[in-house]
Chain A
Amino acid sequence: MAAKKLQIALYWGAACGGCDVAVLDTNEFILDVAALADIRLWPIAVDGKYEDVEAMADGELDLTFFNGAVRNSENEHLAKLLRRKSKLLVAFGSCAHMGGIPGLANLTNREAIFSSIYLQNPSIEPGNKKIPHPETCLDDHVLELPQFYKRVYKLADIVPVDYFLPGCPPAPEQVKLSILALAGGKLPSKGSTIGAAERNVCDDCQRSKSEKKIKRFYRPYEIIQDPEKCLLEQGIVCMGPVTRSGCGVRCPESGMGCRGCYGPAPDVLDQGTKFISALGAIIDSKDPKEIAAIISGLPDLTSTLYRFGLPASFLQRSLKS
């Protein structure tokens, strides 16, 4: 019996390509996907043009995995187009889920970004300093570029999203299980986080945990680690307490603190401020001056707290724009 094949699309917005690699990292399973589904659009791996998507009937696609944040008008156009054409839209990976690493651009503004890339960059020849514009007239032609927005958005800011599959990138095993579940019609309630756990990273971490009291913070290279002991207890910043599990505790088990890519743990509303709450409880000092000195050992605190989720936090962006 030849059932109708699943119609799927995979698309990237403001992304690095790592999410697409995570799909390919399912190894030979990708062949099962090809047998199970028609891949109608996947810019990194298969042919398929925007016009082909525009020609589809609304809802013709069963499933779209959208990775990457929304940074420019092209990302927004495709997000809206694929939303219209897809029965299910999944925000795939940290950028689509929360803004991701590109979301850190919300700490600055468009003018500063353009200036450092197109004007201040030392590799630009002095006579060739130009900021690109959305429209350029050349002879009789108008050349168009996507409009670069003032801010970075998570996918759900632009279109309704059915499911969120977190991770930077999502663990291949979770990608595989999620594809099988969705293809098999096992649909959780709309708006659910899929391919992840209802626990925090510490719940799954095998390191031994006791009372945490720290006098200073260490960057991983500054300390010989105890491989058995909680990283936070050793003064290494680890976002495990406030981060959703499901990743397989890959970072803490290889000696790196959790960076928070799976997003806020269940019941955590804002990953960064919640982690401040945790840090306040474990810093071992009652003297404001000493506290200030300990805190100064945390370089670039804001980017550490919101490494993957500034656009999804309460404040979303810097007011300095």
Chain B
Amino acid sequence: MSFEPRILGILCNWCSYAGADLAGTSRIHYPPNIRIIRVMCSARVDPTFVVKALVSGADGVLICGCHPGDCHYSEGNYKTMRRIPLLKKVLTDLGVEDDRVRLEWISASEGQRFADIVKDMTERIRALGPSRISAELNVDPREK
């Protein structure tokens, strides 16, 4: 059976979720590989959530927030802008491929952009193959 990536999307309520909604109401086609969780702000995304998603079997995590300067809470997305590069540094050290975690800014009017990003991310992760993170957690490699 061919591999279908499972991607978790965590989208802010004010811009990105509305953008994803616009993609839907505009009937723009994009891959069904993404499962979306709505949060009030991208700053709500504790990096722990991203790592927990990866160990729980997600092949990729997409975090979307308002464009810089547009945050409904003025500064929330700037915190995300600092957190995700820090998290990526750690993930790189631990051998997790860079494309598995992605941060994008999507406004409420950017339905097409949302669809394009999901499509691009799905293809990149399809090329990477399934994540080994959760599978190898359960293997006991003490011997050999």
Contact = CB atoms under 8 A, between A and B. Distances in A.
Contacts of A73: 142
Contacts of B79: 280-281
Contacts, number: 100
Q: Give the one of B52, B82, B89 with max A CB within 10 A.
A: B82
A270 interface: yes
B94 A276 contact: no
Given A286-B68, A286-B81, A301-B89, A277 B46 contact: yes
A85 interface: no
Given A318-B94, A319-B133, A280 B51 contact: no
Contacts of A319: 94-96, 132-133, 136
B90 A301 contact: yes
A200 interface: no
B contact face: mostly helix, strand, loop, or mixed: helix
B94 A279 contact: no
A295 B94 contact: no
A76 interface: yes
Contacts of A288: 81, 85
A15 B83 CA distance: 33
Contacts of B48: 269-270, 273-274, 277, 314
A302 interface: yes
A166 to B, nearest CB: 20
Interface residues of A, number: 36
A268 to B, nearest CB: 8
A272 B94 CA distance: 13
Nearest to B136: A319
Given A269-B48, A274-B46, A276-B47, A149 B142 contact: yes
Interface residues of B, number: 32
Interface string B125-139: 000000011001100
A285 interface: yes
Contact of A279 (B55, B81, B83): B83
B122 interface: no
Nearest to B131: A319
B142 A291 contact: no
Interface string A299-315: 00110010000000011
Contacts of A316: 137
Interface in A27-62: none
A273 B46 contact: yes
Contacts of B30: none
A276 B90 contact: yes
Contact of B85 (A76, A277, A295, A317): A295
A302 B83 contact: no
A117 interface: no
Contacts of A279: 82-83, 86
The 5 closest A-B pairs by CB, nearest first: A319-B95, A280-B83, A320-B95, A302-B93, A280-B82
9 contacts: A147-B142, A147-B143, A277-B46, A279-B83, A280-B79, A280-B86, A301-B86, A315-B94, A315-B133
